[in-house]
Structure 1
Amino acid sequence: MTQGINIVSPVRDKLDWDCQELKAKFPKSKEDINIPIPSPQSCLLLIDGKVIKSDENATEVHTPIVTQDQPDNHISIGRFEMATKAQAVQALEAAERAYMYGRGTWARMPISQRCKHMEAFASDLEKKTEELAQLLMWEIGKNVKDSHDEVTRTVKYIQTAVQEAKELAEAESRWQEQKGVMCQIRHLPVGVVLASSPFNYPLNEAYTTFIPALLMGNSVIVRAPRNGATPHFPTLELFAKHFPPGTIQFLTGSGREVMGALVGTGRIDAVAFIGTASSAKGLLKGASNPQRLRVMYEGEAKDAAVILPDADLDVAVTSCASGMTSFNGQRCTAIKMIWVHQSQAEEFLKKLSETIDSMKLGMPWDDTVKITPLCEDSKPAYVKELIVDALNKGAHIVNNGGKCYKTLCTLSILAPVNKHMKIWDEEQFGPVTPVAIYTDVQEPIDYISRSEYGLQSAVFGYDEEMLGRVVDALSYHVGRVNINAPDQRGPDVFPFTGRGNSALGILNATEGLKFFSVPTMVAAKSDDEKSVKALKALNDGKHSTVIYGAK
Structure 2
Amino acid sequence: MSSPGITNEAETPQFRAASDAGTFELKSPATRQPVALVSEATVEDTDAAVAAAKAAFPAWSALSPNDRGAYMMKLAELLLESQEELAHLEANSMGRPVSGYWDAKVAAQKLQYFATAGWDNHGQTSLHTPGFLNMTLKQPFGVVAAIIPWNVPVYFFINKMGPALAAGNTIVIKSSEKAPLTSAKVAALIQKAGFPPGVVNVLSGHGHISGSALSHHMDVRMITFTGSGRTGRLIQQAAAKSNLKNVLFELGGKSPAVIFGDADLDRAAKETANSLQFNSGQVCMANSRVYVHSSISDQFISLFKEKFQAITPGDPTQPHVTHGPQADEIQFNTIKKYIELGKRDGKLALGGDEIAGHAGYFIEPTVFLETPEDAPIMKEEIFGPVVNINVFDSEEEVIRMVNDSEYGLYASVYTRDIERAMRFAKSMEAGSVGINCTSPTGAFDMPFGGFKASGIGREGIHYSMDCYLETKTVLMRI
TM-score (norm 2): 0.92
Identify the residue that residue 354 of structure 1 maps to in structure 2. 306
Kept in 2: contact 1:198–1:225 (CA 8 A): yes
Partner of 1:161: 114
Match 2:400 to one of 432, 437, 446: 446
Residue 229 of structure 1: aligned partner: 180
Q: Which runs of 5+ in 2 are unaligned?
A: 8-12
Unaligned runs of 5+ in 1: 1-42, 67-73, 529-551
CA distance in structure 1 between the aligned counterparts of 2:404 and 2:155, rounded to whole angstroms: 31
Q: Give the Cα–Cα distance (whole angstroms) in 2 for the partners of residues 176 and 244 of structure 1.
A: 37
Match of 1:117 in 2: 71
- Conserved 8 A contact 2:252-2:285: no
- How is 1:400-549 mapped onto 2 (pairs within 5 angstroms)? 402-405=353-356, 406-474=360-428, 477-488=429-440, 490-522=442-474, 524-525=476-477, 528=478
| Residue 256 (1) aligns with residue 221 (2) | no
Aligned residue in 1 for 2:40: 82
Q: Give the distance between the partners of 2:17 and 2:242, measured in 1 at CA.
A: 34
Answer yes or no: is 1:92 the counterpart of 2:34: no
1:288 Cα deviation after fit = 5.9
- Three-state SS of the structure 1 residue aligned to 2:24 is strand
Q: Is the 8 A contact 1:51 1:240 kept in 2?
A: no
Bigger drift between 302-311 and 357-366 goes to 357-366
Q: Which runs of structure 2 are paired with 1:34-53 in the superposition (5 Å)? A: 43-46=1-4, 47-48=6-7, 49-53=13-17
Are the structure 2 counterparts of residues 90 and 464 from structure 1 closer, same or farther at C-alpha, using a change threshold of 3 Å?
Answer: closer
Asked if the contact 2:445–2:462 (Cα under 8 Å) also holds between the matched residues in 1, the reply is yes
Q: Residue deviations 1:414-455, cap 9 Å, x none?
A: 112212432110111101111111122223211222210001
Alignment of 1:63 with 2:28, yes or no, is yes
* 8 A Cα contact 1:266 1:288, kept in partner: no
1:510 partner SS: coil
Aligned length: 466
The question of whether the paired residues in 2 share the 8 Å contact of 1:160 and 1:492 is answered with no
**Corresponding residue of 2:284:** 332
Deviations 1:65-95 (A, max 9, x none): 22xxxxxxx2322211111111111112112
With over 3 angstroms needed to count, the CA separation of the structure-2 counterparts of 1:251 and 1:343, relative to structure 1, is same
Distance 2:259 2:333 in 1: 30
CA distance in 1, matches of 2:400, 2:124: 48
Partners of 1:216 and 1:513 within 8 A in 2: yes
Change (3 A) 1:116 1:361: same
1: CA distance, partners of 2:78 / 2:319: 26
The answer on whether the counterparts of 2:41 and 2:205 sit within 8 Å (CA) in structure 1 is yes
Contact 1:396 1:416 in 2 (8 A): no
Shift of 1:501: 1.1
Greater Cα offset, 238-247 or 337-346: 238-247
Name the CA distance, whole Å, in 1 between partners of 2:298 and 2:333: 29
- TM-score with structure 1 setting the length: 0.80
1:286 is aligned to 2:238? yes
Partner of 1:543: none
What amino acid maps onto 2:45 in structure 1?
Answer: Q
User: Do the aligned partners of 2:124 and 2:137 also contact (CA within 8 Å) in 1?
Assistant: no
Q: Percent identity?
A: 23
Separation in structure 1 between the aligned mates of residue 253 and residue 378 of structure 2, nearest angstrom: 12
Deviation at 1:153, TM superposition (A): 1.1
Letter of the aligned partner of 2:327 in structure 1?
A: C
Shift, 1:290, TM fit: 5.6
Q: Which residue number in structure 2 is paired with residue 14 of structure 1?
A: none
Alpha carbons of 1:117 and 1:174: their partners in 2 closer, same or farther (altered >3 Å)?
A: farther
Cα root mean square deviation, aligned = 2.1
CA–CA distance in 1 between the matches of 2:410 and 2:127? 40
CA distance in 2, matches of 1:268, 1:173: 24
Of the two, which has the highest radius of gyration? 1
Q: CA deviation at 1:106?
A: 0.3
Q: 1:199 aligns with which of 150, 155, 161?
A: 150
Paired residue for 2:274? Answer: 322
User: 74-83 or 462-471, which moves further after superposition?
Assistant: 462-471
For residue 174 of structure 1, report the CA deviation from its aligned partner. Answer: 8.7
Hey, what's the Cα distance between the residues in 1 that align with 2:346 and 2:135? Answer: 64
State how far apart, in whole Å, the 2-side matches of 1:91 and 1:127 are.
28
